[in-house]
Structure 1
Amino acid sequence: MPRIVLELPPGLNSDDTTYSAAGRWADGSNVRFWRGKAEAVGGWEAIINTPLTGVCRKVFGWTDNANNLNIAAGTHSALQVYQGGALFDITPFGPPTLLGNNPLAVTNASPVVTVTHVAHGLTTGDSVNISGATTLATITPNGTFPITVLTADTYTYTFSSNANNNTSGGGGRVIITPQKALPAGNIDGTGGAGYGTGTYSTGTWSSPSTADYFPRTWSLSAWGENLIANPRNGGIFTWTNNTSSRATAIVTAPTQVTYALVAPTRQVFALGCNAEAFPYAFDPLIIRHSSIGNNGEWLTNLAASTAREYRLPGGGRIVCGAVMGENLLIWTSSALYLGTFVGSLAQPWRFDKVGDQCGCIGPNAFAVVGQQAMWVGPNLQFYVYTLGSQPALMPCPIQDDFADFMAPAQTDKITMSSVAPFDEVRIDYPDSRDGVECSRYLAAHIPTLMGSPENAWYRGVMARTAFVDTPPSPNSYPIGVDTSGNMFWHEKGQSANGGPLSWFIETADNYLDPNSVMQMRGLWPDFKDQVGPVSVQVISRFYPQATDYTVSGQIMGPGQERSDVRATGRLAKIRYSASASPSFARFGNITIDATPTGRR
């Protein structure tokens, strides 16, 4: 009685015919490859039973000076923070708006200030904060005041003292911040003007957007123990760890920013923003940063200021950026730039293009692990960059499924994260088979980034709109957020928040004997640390394009040695699956008990 042993290398391979992948795993869900073998992913448990408000697009964990864990979550409609076992709304007031030159007018012997604020959208009784105004007619009318609307483009407020002349002024840096929560942004992308802003081939090549067609995403980072937050195409806000206070606008920073981050030099960067000089036009390739150690100083003409402005060459638009060691990576829609701190007062940073035709598809579609970065390009291919080298395509043997079913115009929702406990990079994305929200993921074992022969890719069905690696805090785990706003610790336990954890893994077609029809009588699975029952199926056929015959074996409990099965054919696939609470198994080799039955 011959016994056939299948010793399968790590990783799924499904982009070719099933027989072309013989001797490999071909399909699976919620099973990873770790230390060369397959195992079910860990479970997840709720961090808090209160869901977030809105659809979460970014989650970020950091610790304060007392080593307390904070978790910030940016949704399409709110900014919230988890601290001390509770959830707090810290949605900032806004948006901050930079007005035109000299937008204020006063009348002699009157405290009434008239503001020209085109298409302000405010109503009588709303309060606004005015900052950055210069003195006019002996008053400097900054502060917070209720307004009276005159027209769609003008309103008035009453200052604390009278002007002594009829004049207009205020200078070129008057910022108006409505004192009500930031309005909700888009949940979904719609496609639209400008390369990369929506569906493929929509708009003109390399032109900037003329409207906001993006789902609201956030960039979140830490300034010491404080939070820096930027809703895409909005201002930059800071939160100082007081749960009774909202995040507040850094009113001296640019007011329209694509992506914000904090550099190792303690400078806040605005990537893709409005220019410093009048008329303060938005330019999708401009980079501005604050002075070293001062996130409120952004003007370049101040004495000893290290704030500066740069413009990247080429076309397209800045999409996102990341810190890599002491350097910065900045992706446009078509290229990758490396930012290096050179320390010159005239030019503190320099930005060099390190790759072309390798832009990033969305603001969260990248991950940095040590000296390497991985991201998704606008062509839905995967790229990898190692400091000191050139960006390169990263082969993925399960890429077709990802590209073929990407939800149209929703690529800005793609989110990527490392999962340090398992040397993993994970890509959550919206799959059109499930709708327009993130519903599935791909993952790669990090050694593949180095060209390791362990080219291990895998995937799963799991709805996570935001995901982040383990925060720097004791007893924490990776964090994922589902479409309903529920936050979970991942890789914790062996259930789906107390419910059944579902997974499966399936081999490609393997010839048992190309010259003979074989009858399979049973399997000796090689399981380790099994928890819960595992179902065993054999899918057989007589020729590569013949009909599948599926036979189920015995459901195997922990410690069971053999699963009896009766299946006949030349080729066979083996499938393991489970849906139980708790559930786990790690898989070694497969031994098939088979005997020839004839040549037909």
Structure 2
Amino acid sequence: MGPSHTTTLNGALNSSATTITVVSTTGFAASGAIGIDAEYITYSGVTPTTFTGCTRGVGSTAASHASTTPVLQFSGATGWGQSAASGVASQLRLWSQNNYGQDLIINPRGGALYLWKVAANPNEYNRAVLLASTSPAPYTTDTSCPSVCNSVAVSDSSRFVLAFGCNDYGETEIDPLLVRWSDQENYALWAPAITNQAGSFRLSTGSSIVAHQQTRQEILVWTDAAIYSMQYLGPPYVWGFQILGDNISIAGPNAKATAANITYWMGLDKFYMYSGRVETLACPLRQYIFGDINLQQQYQFFASTNEGYNEVWWFYCSANSTVIDRYVIYNHLERIWSYGNLSRTAWLDTPLREHPVAAGYGGRIIYHEDGVDDGLTNPPSAISAYIQSADANIGDGHNYGFVWRMIPDITFDGSTVDKPSVTMTLKPRQNPGSNYSASASPTVASTQNYSGQRNYTVQQFTEIVYVRVRGRQMAFRISSDGLGVQWQLGVPSLDIRPDGRR
């Protein structure tokens, strides 16, 4: 069996109740089975907000459940004479949240809107409540508040609450392309009237809204086929929508970030940017990334910034992984790409903190760009770090190149050991597509062999290194794996001369 629809409990549920109250039963069958935590329950009837005639603990144990616990519908049971279904990937249940002053407006994807208010007593903590049930002065309760929504935002300057992919006014069924907004400065009033600015607009391109991003003068809205600009116009139209481009994709709700007033995002097969117009972002790593990616897990993908280094980061799952295990970085100032392996589930880059903060799968909060060793272990362990260039050649590859000396141009500022060092490696090969030559020796200049991969230890204050390496193409690599080592690479110089064609 498998879940086909979802809602949440609207109030706590004890272990004996036979009527279950939820936020909405939209999309559920007239009779059938539901699951709450580990409990399996059958029901014989529904109303817009309840399941009736419930039999509790079918093949399981009846239990009590807290308010807002997810409720899943089950259908398609298999039995004798039927083939068993194979496993399928279900959509990740993401939460969106935005500040409304000191309060917080929250929405689980496919669920209702909630409000968390700051307690008057700093030693007390309030629970979030349904936005439709709140009535704080000077606001009044409005049952037209969306009961189901895919994501929520609060416009920065005009202070509207925006619901993306929600049910229309007077309806209970979700419309994945509908955008609704509350009255200005009033999160509880959603019923459109001539005396307020509440309203809605249905996008025309695509089948569902995937993501949205606030920028300086507009809100960008992505469907699964286009990107729109959403701008505040004032009464009577309130918000205006303009399509910026069609046949545009985005990998997931969080696969976008804005840096230096330019928005960057990962699509399903390429990267894009928006600086007033939509453009494809040239990426030399495109085949490496999109040729080895698990798009079934695309709702896990996310992007963020590292403004201290002018970078935009994307974290994603490789083809054989169901969790995030890779990243790709774009330096928007120098227009340089880099990539690597790293598992992170969230990233926060803010001027309120000295360093970016990330979350990992181990349930830990990690400070990035702070310290020189791996603080996830006790005691801290060395970080294995490296940079490797693409292959380079001379004369369009007609001649072999012979490298005989190298000026490293590297600093070790911030290292905590007396003699920090790195290993610089020259990796030659004879032709494109051939393997790199095997290492002749792991130490420095102990052989006169003109071919083979060569490793050279470069310590602090090293001005020049004499080498003997020959190849038609050559890659440069710098690496370190020692405790307390921190380094920064400048522009190393190689003396290279033509050395024949074979």
TM-score bracket, normalised by the shorter chain, equals 0.7 to 0.9
Structure-to-structure mapping, 1:17-28, within 5 angstroms: none
1:541 equivalent to 2:437? Answer no
**Separation in 2 of the partners of 1:442 and 1:565?**
33
Structure-to-structure mapping, 1:187-206, within 5 angstroms: none
Please say if residues 553 and 565 of structure 1, whose CA atoms lie closer than 8 Å, have aligned partners that are also in contact: no
CA drift of 1:396 comes to 0.7
CA offsets 1:124-147 (integer angstroms, 9 cap, x no match): xxxxxxxxx9xxxxxxxx9xxxx9
1:438 equivalent to 2:327? Answer no
Q: Give the corresponding residue for 1:353.
A: 243
Structure 1 residues 223 and 525, CA gap change in structure 2 (3 angstroms): same
**Separation in 2 of the partners of 1:244 and 1:371?**
37
Structure-to-structure mapping, 1:508-527, within 5 angstroms: 508-511=390-393, 519-527=402-410
**Separation in 2 of the partners of 1:298 and 1:579?**
58
Structure-to-structure mapping, 1:587-598, within 5 angstroms: 587-593=489-495
Query: Unpaired segments of 5 or more residues in structure 2?
Result: 1-10, 14-20, 38-46, 57-64, 73-87, 133-142, 440-452
**Separation in 2 of the partners of 1:537 and 1:93?**
63
CA offsets 1:345-385 (integer angstroms, 9 cap, x no match): x421111112111132211011123532111223x211111
**Separation in 2 of the partners of 1:184 and 1:529?**
56
1:288 equivalent to 2:180? Answer yes
Please say if residues 535 and 555 of structure 1, whose CA atoms lie closer than 8 Å, have aligned partners that are also in contact: yes
1:269 equivalent to 2:195? Answer no
What is the one-letter code of the residue matched to 2:383?
L
Structure-to-structure mapping, 1:567-582, within 5 angstroms: 567-582=469-484
CA drift of 1:547 comes to 4.3
Structure 1 residues 488 and 122, CA gap change in structure 2 (3 angstroms): closer
CA drift of 1:443 comes to 1.3
**Separation in 2 of the partners of 1:403 and 1:338?**
27
Q: Give the corresponding residue for 1:504.
A: 386
Structure-to-structure mapping, 1:189-588, within 5 angstroms: 213-242=90-119, 244-251=125-132, 252=143, 253-264=145-156, 265-278=158-171, 280-301=172-193, 304-344=195-235, 346-378=236-268, 380-387=269-276, 390-433=277-320, 435-447=321-333, 454-470=334-350, 472-473=351-352, 475-497=353-375, 498-511=380-393, 519-530=402-413, 531=415, 532-549=420-437, 550=439, 551-588=453-490
* Higher mean C-alpha deviation, range 267-276 or range 566-575: 566-575
TM-score (norm 2): 0.73
CA offsets 1:90-111 (integer angstroms, 9 cap, x no match): xx989961368xxxxxxxxxxx
**Separation in 2 of the partners of 1:318 and 1:486?**
32
Please say if residues 408 and 462 of structure 2, whose CA atoms lie closer than 8 Å, have aligned partners that are also in contact: no
CA offsets 1:289-317 (integer angstroms, 9 cap, x no match): 1111121222224x733221221123321
CA drift of 1:430 comes to 0.8
CA drift of 1:282 comes to 0.8
Partner SS state of residue 93, structure 2: coil
CA offsets 1:134-176 (integer angstroms, 9 cap, x no match): xxxxxxxx9xxxx9x961399xxxxxxxxxxxxxxxxxxxxxx
What is the one-letter code of the residue matched to 1:440?
R
**Separation in 2 of the partners of 1:247 and 1:574?**
55
Partner SS state of residue 355, structure 1: strand
CA offsets 1:222-270 (integer angstroms, 9 cap, x no match): 1112222222111222222456333222135322211111112111111
What is the one-letter code of the residue matched to 1:269?
L
**Separation in 1 of the partners of 2:128 and 2:422?**
49
Please say if residues 496 and 581 of structure 1, whose CA atoms lie closer than 8 Å, have aligned partners that are also in contact: no
CA drift of 1:519 comes to 4.8
Please say if residues 394 and 498 of structure 2, whose CA atoms lie closer than 8 Å, have aligned partners that are also in contact: no
What is the one-letter code of the residue matched to 1:395?
A
Partner SS state of residue 534, structure 1: strand
**Separation in 2 of the partners of 1:408 and 1:256?**
26
The percent of aligned pairs where both chains have the same amino acid is 25
**Separation in 2 of the partners of 1:547 and 1:292?**
64
Please say if residues 96 and 255 of structure 1, whose CA atoms lie closer than 8 Å, have aligned partners that are also in contact: no
Structure 1 residues 571 and 352, CA gap change in structure 2 (3 angstroms): closer
**Separation in 2 of the partners of 1:547 and 1:314?**
48
Please say if residues 476 and 489 of structure 1, whose CA atoms lie closer than 8 Å, have aligned partners that are also in contact: no
**Separation in 1 of the partners of 2:66 and 2:381?**
43
CA offsets 1:68-96 (integer angstroms, 9 cap, x no match): xxxxxxxxxxxxxxxxxxxxxxxx98996
CA drift of 1:326 comes to 3.7
Structure 1 residues 356 and 521, CA gap change in structure 2 (3 angstroms): same
Compute the RMSD of aligned alpha carbons: 3.4
**Separation in 2 of the partners of 1:504 and 1:568?**
22
CA drift of 1:319 comes to 0.7
Q: How many residues align?
A: 409
CA drift of 1:478 comes to 1.7
What is the one-letter code of the residue matched to 1:584?
Q
> Highest relative contact order (Cα 8 Å, sep 6+), 1 or 2?
1
CA drift of 1:579 comes to 2.4
Structure 1 residues 184 and 415, CA gap change in structure 2 (3 angstroms): farther
Partner SS state of residue 401, structure 1: helix
Please say if residues 522 and 565 of structure 1, whose CA atoms lie closer than 8 Å, have aligned partners that are also in contact: yes
What is the one-letter code of the residue matched to 1:589?
V
Please say if residues 403 and 467 of structure 2, whose CA atoms lie closer than 8 Å, have aligned partners that are also in contact: yes
**Separation in 2 of the partners of 1:256 and 1:469?**
30
Structure 1 residues 150 and 292, CA gap change in structure 2 (3 angstroms): closer
Please say if residues 442 and 458 of structure 1, whose CA atoms lie closer than 8 Å, have aligned partners that are also in contact: yes
**Separation in 2 of the partners of 1:479 and 1:587?**
25
Please say if residues 324 and 370 of structure 1, whose CA atoms lie closer than 8 Å, have aligned partners that are also in contact: no
**Separation in 2 of the partners of 1:430 and 1:547?**
27
**Separation in 2 of the partners of 1:521 and 1:416?**
43
What is the one-letter code of the residue matched to 1:535?
T
CA drift of 1:545 comes to 4.5
Partner SS state of residue 491, structure 2: strand
